[in-house]
Every structure is written in C-alpha cells, then in structure tokens.
Amino acid sequence: MPDPCIAMFPPIAEMIYLKTLAVSILNSFNSYRLQLGHLPVACGPLEFENRSLERAREIFKTSHQEVAMFHFLKTFNSFNHYSMVAYPVGIHQDYFKHGKESLENKILFCLNPNFHHSIGRGGCIVGKSFVYALLDW
C-alpha cells in the first residue's frame, strides 16, 4: 500500500491502526491464557507482527509530534502486503513469503453496481451493490 494512501484515505489508516490494536489485544489475551496454564494462540503470526509493531513504536518515539502517528502507521504498514479480492474465496492455501506468517486484516467496500458489471463478491446488505475486500497480510 503506497504511503500517500494512509494520509489520503482515513479508512486505510484506520485499518492499519486496528491491526496494531489486534496485535496488542492478542498479546494481552495470551498473557492471560498463560496465567491460567493454557497455551497461547496465534504464536507464529504474533511473532512477526510484534517485530513490526516494535519497529513502528521506535519510529514513533523518534518522530516529530506532528507526524509521529503517520510515521508509526507508515512503518507498520511497510511490513504488510495487500491484495484486492473481488470474488468469494473458498478453500485455499496461503503462501507467506519467506515463511513470514501474518494476521490477515481486511476492509470491505460496497460499490455501486454500475461500477463494473457482474464483478464483486456479493454480500452487500444494502441494495444490490458489489462488495470488494482489501486484504493485508
């Protein structure tokens, strides 16, 4: 995802930020599970996401206050890959480059059916618009 999209499109910035929150919540959840003697969840993805989050926090601390949050999101975003999905995805096997696991995040967009004929995932709860998913992983 190009860096200007973070500044130009608030839903993209929010999507990135919400993923950082999900990582933090899962870390807290795993601490709680360990206290109860249970196994942690999502260990592989969290290992890589925590590295990305730590790097983003380092950049945040060294950035000027006016642009610190943008640099935080930009840095965290730089560790992710994106794809746009226009069709429902069935059973498939994900391939992670260099074995890097990731938490998949997505945002759905509902577009006017006149945008392009018969392309879209369907599933819009409002009218007959088509739904497209932007995935990061």
Stated as kind and residue range, the H or E segment containing 61 is helix 43-62
Q: What is the DSSP string of 4-47?
A: HHHHH-HHHHHHHHHHHHHHHHHHHHHHHHHHTTPPPS-HHHHH
Percent of the chain residues past pLDDT 70, beyond the cut: 81
| Lowest-confidence segment of 16-25, 89-98, 99-108 by average pLDDT | 89-98
Instruction: Select from 61, 49, 64, 63 the least CA-distant residue to 16.
Output: 49
Q: Which of the two residues, 84 and 119, has the higher pLDDT score?
A: 84
CB 15 within 8 A of CB 80: no
CA 132 to chain centre: 15
CA–CA distances in Å: residue 95 to residues 4, 34, 53, 99: 27, 29, 22, 8
| Whole-number pLDDT of residue 128 | 66
Whether 111 and 120 have beta carbons less than 8 Å apart is answered as yes
Judged against a pLDDT cut of 70, whether residue 121 lies above it is answered with no
The answer, yes or no, to whether residue 82 has pLDDT greater than 90, is no
Of residues 30 and 86, more confidence is placed in 30
CB 6 within 8 A of CB 16: yes
Tell me the Ramachandran region of residue 120: left when phi exceeds 0, alpha when psi lies from -120 to 50, beta otherwise. Answer: left
**Domain spans of the chain, in order of start:** 3-136
pLDDT band at 119 (very low <50, low <70, confident <90, very high): low
The predicted structure's pLDDT at residue 130 = 72
60 vs 93, residue with greater confidence: 60
* Per-residue confidence (pLDDT) for residue 135, from 0 to 100: 87
Q: Is the pLDDT of residue 40 over 70?
A: yes
